[in-house]
């Protein structure tokens, strides 16, 4: 097999791995939009907040330590203990569930029946509020997140690919973290699909997504479903925050990953869980291949804009996305 073909195959594989990480963020958008019609601008900040909270819990940091020290003149920063990764993840998930309940109780329960633009503006305010709270609770310095996920190139993949490529090819470089993220994302998506299809709460969630009034008429609690949906979105944000945080460090620019999820949603559709996955894979592979083939001819850096151009093309010719539902309004 020629080295050029193998190099191209390596680019495709790495694109698929990147696409999985994009899809993880897009899943949170889909869950909330499908059940409540709210486009949650704060999803990226939720991933950041979850990652910050996980690091803080694992390192035994005192929440709001900077505020406490400035107010009372103390000098406390940690409790003096550390927390194992699995327990830290479990405690962070509890925090995200409490956050979901608070968001519904104190914000969106009072906005029922408002125009979509009002709900969208509320999520923008929520994003900046949550970012500020994360800064006050855990500080703004860049943090290292280590939950035991292996990193670095996979020697097994390198050896196998080098054997196939012969003397002119030294093997694929595929990060173990990306492989782990792909496996976790596959398990998460399978779990969400099973939950939505085969559990009582999942069927209720789908009923609410289809018709709020009909769901109310058969005794489904909208309050419970919306808290459940925000909790699931918080869980997805936690997974995305762990993967992105372990990959590039936990820093406030992590919240910008939400911007990369927008083209994914436009391709896959705002109401489709499989669409989020397929859209993420298309964006991931497309931007890597475009950078590999066209990038050298235009000076590179095409990954910064390729996804948005592709999304714009989809908006023109298929605005509902690959798996989205065409909305027909009768007047």
Q: Is residue 331 assigned to a domain?
A: no
Q: Are 222 and 208 in contact (CB under 8 A)?
A: yes
Token pair, residue 321, equals 């996305």
Number of domains composing the chain:
1
The Cα 311–Cα 22 span in angstroms is: 14
Mean pLDDT of 111-126: 88
Helix (H, G, I), strand (E, B) or coil at 143: strand
Token pair, residue 65, equals 């330590």
Q: How many CB atoms lie within 10 A of CB 320?
A: 17
Q: Is residue 272 assigned to a domain?
A: yes
Mean pLDDT of 141-156: 77
Confidence of residue 158 (pLDDT cuts 50, 70, 90): low
The Cα 119–Cα 124 span in angstroms is: 9
The Cα 280–Cα 240 span in angstroms is: 13
Q: Is residue 327 assigned to a domain?
A: no
Of 49-53, 65-69, 122-126, the poorest mean pLDDT is in: 65-69
Q: Is residue 247 assigned to a domain?
A: yes
Q: Is residue 330 assigned to a domain?
A: no
Here the CATH number for the domain that contains residue 265 is 1.10.3470
Q: Is residue 268 assigned to a domain?
A: yes
Mean pLDDT of 179-190: 84
Confidence of residue 59 (pLDDT cuts 50, 70, 90): very high
pLDDT of res. 238: 93
pLDDT of res. 161: 52
For 274-326, how does the pLDDT look when each residue is reduced to its tens digit (9 = 90+)? 888 889 999 999 998 988 888 888 877 788 888 999 989 988 888 888 887 66
The residue range of the domain holding 67 is: 3-317
pLDDT of res. 271: 82
For 201-259, how does the pLDDT look when each residue is reduced to its tens digit (9 = 90+)? 888 887 887 777 788 888 888 888 889 999 999 999 999 899 888 888 888 888 887 78
């Amino acid at each position: 097999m020629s080295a050029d073909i193998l190099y191209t195959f390596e680019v495709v594989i790495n694109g698929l791995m990147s696409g999985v990480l994009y899809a993880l963020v897009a899943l949170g958008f889909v869950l909330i939009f499908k059940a409540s019609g709210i486009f949650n601008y704060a999803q990226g900040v939720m991933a950041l907040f979850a990652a910050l909270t996980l690091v803080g819990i694992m390192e035994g940091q005192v929440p709001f330590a900077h505020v406490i020290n400035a107010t009372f003149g103390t000098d406390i920063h940690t409790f003096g203990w550390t927390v194992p990764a699995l327990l830290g993840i479990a405690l962070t998930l509890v925090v995200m569930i409490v956050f979901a309940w608070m968001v519904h109780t104190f914000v969106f329960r009072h906005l029922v029946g408002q125009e979509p633009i009002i709900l969208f503006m509320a999520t923008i305010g929520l994003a900046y509020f949550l970012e500020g709270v994360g800064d006050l609770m855990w500080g703004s310095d860049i943090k290292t997140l280590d939950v035991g996920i292996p990193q670095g190139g996979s020697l097994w993949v390198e050896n196998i690919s080098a054997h196939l490529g012969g003397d002119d090819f030294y093997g694929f470089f595929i990060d173990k973290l990306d492989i782990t993220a792909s496996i976790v994302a596959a398990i998460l998506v399978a779990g969400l699909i099973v939950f939505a299809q085969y559990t009582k709460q999942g069927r209720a969630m789908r009923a609410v997504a289809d018709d709020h009034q009909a769901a109310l008429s058969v005794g489904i609690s909208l309050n419970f479903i919306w808290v459940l949906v925000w909790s699931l979105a918080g869980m997805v944000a936690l997974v995305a925050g762990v993967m992105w945080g372990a990959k590039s460090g936990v820093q406030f620019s992590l919240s910008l990953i939400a911007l990369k999820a927008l083209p994914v949603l436009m391709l896959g559709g705002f109401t489709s869980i499989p669409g989020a996955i397929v859209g993420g894979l298309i964006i991931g592979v497309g931007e890597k291949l475009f950078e590999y083939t066209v990038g050298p001819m235009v000076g590179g850096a095409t990954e910064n804009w390729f996804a948005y151009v592709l999304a714009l093309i989809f908006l023109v010719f298929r605005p509902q996305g690959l798996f989205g539902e065409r909305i027909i309004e009768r007047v």
